[in-house]
């Protein structure tokens, strides 16, 4: 039964390779190529996109009005990422310092809410932020404020929602990099007479940089696309890139423009990943130098 059979070897090998290349060509490369092509075509209400090729959609992306939208939504996602980092960094640091059992418990506790549907979580935020929601009721009943404040349907609400949905993605890579950061290293530098701030800037921060960058990427990239957060919490006017793209594809039907927007997003993503690789290399090289110095 198990005699070497050359034909069979070839066929299994071929099967696996064909499957890999075939699937990826059809489902990843071809669709991306189609989107790139669409972005250079001319919009048409009936046939979605027609010849001739043109650069019109890209020049539209650069029009002040859409350029503003682009940057506004980038800004919303960036603020959400920053808030995630500001909360997540100390949180991950404290967690990483705990004994393993406590750390495991806290991590599980952090993940439990994330096993319900992400939409439902976004909707839960709505119940908290409304004028008769939890926060306003508490503030008014304790007499801190007299009139409820408007939080729902503002940029603030969108950011709170994004942070709520994405926070664990920031915390997980950070904890991993804090774990790698050995306690000995900071003890050693303490002996060398470095103070807390120096230790943080020269040792802790550079060595956790890969975790920071990874966390920021995993938060920032999806944050741009989460149209349902903006729909539910932003009152259909604080738009994320996801809303603009969805709108162009499913409402306005300007597919070339929607495609051009997506391609711009992909290019930006590639640039950020490239920066990540560069930064990682830089950190590793620095790490190497530090080792030599020690």
Partner 1 sequence: MMRIFKVLLVALVFVYLYAPIVVLVVNSFNKSKYGYKWSGFSWKWYEKLLANDTLLTAFTHSATIALLAATAAALIGTLMALAIYRYRFRFKRAASSALFVVMMSPDIVLAITFLVLFVALGMQLGFWTLLLAHITFCLPFVVITVYAQLKGFDTHLIEAAQDLGASEWHTFRTILLPLLLPSVLAGWLLSFTLSLDDVIISSFVTGPDYDVLPIRVFSMVKVGVSPEVNVLATLLLAISVISLIIFSLLVRRKVT
Partner 2 sequence: MKNWIRLLATTVIMAPLAAMAGGKVVVYNWSEYIPEDTIERFTAETGIEVVYATYESNETMYSKLQLQKNAGYDVVVPSTYYVAKMAKEKMIQPLQKELLPNLKHLDSALLNKEYDPQNNYSIPYFWGSTGLGVNTSEMDISTIHSWKQLWEPQYKGQLLLMDDVREVFHVALVLNGHSPNTTNPDEIKQAYELLKKLMPNVLLFNSDAPREPYMAGDVNFGMIWNGEVMMAQEEDDAIQYVYPDEGAVFWVDSFAIPAGASNVKEAHAFINFMMQPEIAKSCVEYVGYATPNKTAIAMLDKELRDNPVIFPPQSVIEKGEFQSDVGEAIEIYNNYWQQLKVGQ
5 near partner 1, rule: CB under 8 A: yes
Instruction: Return the bridge partners of 50, or none.
Output: 42
In the numeric block, which tokens belong to residue 65? 């009005």
Considering only residues 34 to 93 of the shown chain, the ones binding partner 2 according to CB under 8 A are 45-46, 48, 65-66, 68-69, 72
Stretch that binds partner 2, among 19-27, 85-93, 126-134, 272-280 (CB under 8 A): 126-134
113 near partner 2, rule: CB under 8 A: no
Residues 270-289: x/- map of binding to partner 2 (CB under 8 A)?
Answer: --------------------
153 near partner 2, rule: CB under 8 A: yes
Helix, strand, or coil here: 138?
helix
Stretch that binds partner 1, among 149-157, 198-206, 221-229, 285-293 (CB under 8 A): 221-229
If the CB atoms of residues 144 and 294 are measured against partner 1, the closer one turns out to be 144
Burial of 163: CB neighbours in 10 Å, binned 0-12, 13-18, 19+: buried
Give buried/exposed letters for 82-98 (b at 16+ CB in 10 A, else e): ebbbeebbebbeebbee
Q: Which of 76, 80, 84, 95 lies at the binding interface for partner 1 (CB under 8 A)?
A: 95
Considering only residues 169 to 208 of the shown chain, the ones binding partner 2 according to CB under 8 A are none
15 near partner 2, rule: CB under 8 A: no
Stretch that binds partner 1, among 142-150, 173-181, 203-211, 246-254 (CB under 8 A): 246-254
Q: Tell me if the bond preceding 90 is cis, omega within 30° of 0.
A: no
Residues 130-169: x/- map of binding to partner 1 (CB under 8 A)?
Answer: --x-x-----------------------------x--x--
Contact present, 47 and 38 (Cβ < 8 Å): no
Query: Minimum distance between the CB of residue 125 and partner 1, rounded to whole angstroms?
Result: 5
Q: Which of 207, 211, 212, 246 lies at the binding interface for partner 1 (CB under 8 A)?
A: 246
Q: Which of 189, 240, 279, 206 is nearest to 78 (CA)?
A: 240
249 near partner 1, rule: CB under 8 A: yes
Query: Minimum distance between the CB of residue 292 and partner 1, rounded to whole angstroms?
Result: 29
Longest dimension (CA), the chain: 85
275 near partner 1, rule: CB under 8 A: no
Q: Return the axis-axis angle of helices 255-293 and 30-39, rounded to nearest 10°.
A: 120
266 near partner 2, rule: CB under 8 A: no
Stretch that binds partner 1, among 64-72, 105-113, 146-154, 175-183 (CB under 8 A): 105-113
Per 3-state DSSP, the chain is made up of helix, strand and coil in percentages (nearest 5) of 80, 0, 20
Residue ranges in contact with partner 2 by CB under 8 A: 45-46, 48, 65-66, 68-69, 72, 130-132, 148, 150, 152-153, 234-237, 239, 244, 247, 249-253
């Amino acid at each position: 039964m198990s005699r070497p059979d050359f034909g069979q070897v070839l066929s299994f090998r071929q099967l696996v390779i064909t499957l890999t290349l075939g699937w990826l060509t059809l489902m990843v490369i071809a669709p991306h190529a189609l989107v790139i092509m669409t972005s250079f075509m001319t919009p048409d209400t009936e046939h979605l996109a027609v010849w001739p090729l043109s650069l019109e959609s890209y020049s539209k992306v650069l029009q002040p009005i859409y350029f503003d939208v682009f940057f506004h939504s980038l800004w919303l996602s960036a603020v959400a990422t920053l808030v995630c980092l500001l909360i997540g960094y100390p949180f991950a640091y404290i967690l990483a310092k705990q004994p393993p059992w406590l750390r495991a418990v806290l991590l599980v506790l952090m993940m439990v809410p994330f096993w319900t549907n992400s939409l439902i979580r976004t909707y839960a935020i709505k119940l908290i932020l409304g004028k008769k929601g939890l926060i306003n009721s508490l503030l008014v009943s304790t007499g801190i404020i007299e009139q409820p404040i408007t939080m729902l349907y503002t940029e603030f609400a969108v950011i709170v929602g994004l942070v709520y949905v994405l926070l664990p993605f920031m915390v997980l890579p950070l904890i991993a990099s804090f774990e790698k950061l050995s306690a000995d290293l900071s003890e050693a530098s303490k002996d060398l007479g470095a103070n807390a701030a120096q230790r943080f800037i020269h040792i802790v921060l550079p060595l956790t940089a890969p975790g920071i960058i990874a966390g920021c990427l995993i938060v920032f990239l999806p944050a741009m696309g989460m149209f349902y957060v903006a729909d539910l919490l932003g009152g259909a006017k604080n738009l994320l890139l996801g809303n603009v793209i969805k709108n162009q594809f499913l409402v306005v039907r300007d597919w070339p423009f929607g495609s051009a927007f997506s391609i711009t997003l992909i290019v930006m993503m590639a640039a950020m990943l490239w920066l990540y690789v560069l930064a990682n290399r830089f950190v590793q090289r620095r790490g190497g130098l530090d080792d030599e110095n020690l």
